[in-house]
Amino acid sequence: MRHMDAKVARPDARVAEIAGRQHGVISIGQLRRVGITKDAVRRRLETGRLHRIHRGVYAVGHPGISQYGRWMAAALACGEGAAVSHRSAAELWGLLKPAGGPIDISIPGNSGRARRRGLRLHRRTSVRVTRQQGIPVTKPAQTIGDLRGLVSQTELRRAIRQANVLGLPIGPETGRDRTRSDLERDFLRLCRRYRLPLPEVNVRVGHFLVDFLWRDRRLAVETDGYRYHRGRQAFRDDRSRDLELRARGFEVVRLSEDQIDEEPGRVADVLRELLASPRHRVAADG
């Protein structure tokens, strides 16, 4: 009896070892390779030692797998060469926040597996695959390329910025951040949309060039794009600019790209209040 128990324990130990490397999931192929037969799989499903996630993919021990486990299970379900891709890959790399819904999986070739519930399949001739957290995933450059036309420009810019922050290799062309002209155009569009008086653009005040200036209201706005405001020297330059502007009687408001993109109404309310405040009226009249 002890001999039989030992024979059962050895495959289960291998199952636990494999699942431990794969965020709690294992494929039917891997089960077979460690000696778990079809009948043995069925018995383990009945007793709760395995839990079906996709056809041919199981959670080991309990069904409550993490998001990493769900990504891994999706890749395993689609066979050799499959990889998490598109928006799901951006989430796995930490470039975008998880949005729920089907998991994107790229598979090589133009034919193959039928639709899978909970998965969005992308068949392609070439999949550039690496691993993140042990999970097959498209490389960062391909991930960014796959996002184009799939997500909004705001989300695409956010993904590119985050890739730059994380130091991921996305290529010199793909990795360009928003240009100064883009920021200027978007901020001026915000001013028109919310009926704010239009500022002067790229105005020299003392030793510095100011992004946006309401000279008569003594108000300056600096838009902090990641490309132009990253690093220690940029941080020091920004503070020197702020000090000089304040010494000359200007109030300085710094806005991030995300604030302009995602909170335009709030930005407009703050600027409208500042432009209408007695402090700025007195400064303008004086």
Higher pLDDT, 284 or 127: 127
Q: Are 89 and 138 in contact (CB under 8 A)?
A: yes
Please give the full DSSP string across 245-271, using - where no structure is assigned: HHHTT-EEEEEEHHHHHH-HHHHHHHH
Q: How confident is the model at residue 151 (pLDDT cuts 50, 70, 90)?
A: confident
Report the percentage of the chain scoring pLDDT > 90.
36
**Residue for token pair 């070739």:** 109
Q: How far is CA 20 from CA 68, 134, 137, 148, in A?
A: 12, 11, 19, 35
Q: Are 245 and 252 in contact (CB under 8 A)?
A: yes
CB count, 10 Å around CB of 280?
19
Region of poorest pLDDT, from 92-96, 111-115, 273-277: 111-115
Give CATH for domain 180-285. 3.40.960.10
In the chain, the amino acid numbered 239 is R
Instruction: Give the pLDDT confidence score for residue 69 in this predicted structure.
Output: 93
Q: Is the pLDDT of residue 198 over 80?
A: yes
Region of poorest pLDDT, from 92-101, 219-228, 260-269: 219-228
Instruction: Give the pLDDT confidence score for residue 109 in this predicted structure.
Output: 76
- Sorted by where each begins, the domain ranges of the chain are 1-65, 79-176, 180-285
Q: How confident is the model at residue 174 (pLDDT cuts 50, 70, 90)?
A: very low
User: 146: Cβ–Cβ under 8 A, 6 or more apart, which residues?
Assistant: 85, 86, 89, 122, 138
**230-258: pLDDT as tens digits:** 444 444 555 677 788 888 888 999 888 77
Q: Among 130, 81, 82, 124, which residue's Cα sits nearest to residue 103?
A: 82
CB count, 10 Å around CB of 13?
11
Cα–Cα distance, 120 to 88 (Å, whole number): 10
Burial 125-138 (b: 16+ CB within 10 A, else e): eebbbeebeebbbb
170-179, 201-210, 234-243 — most confident range: 201-210
Instruction: Give the pLDDT confidence score for residue 23 in this predicted structure.
Output: 92
Sign of the CA dihedral 171, 177, 181, 182?
A: positive
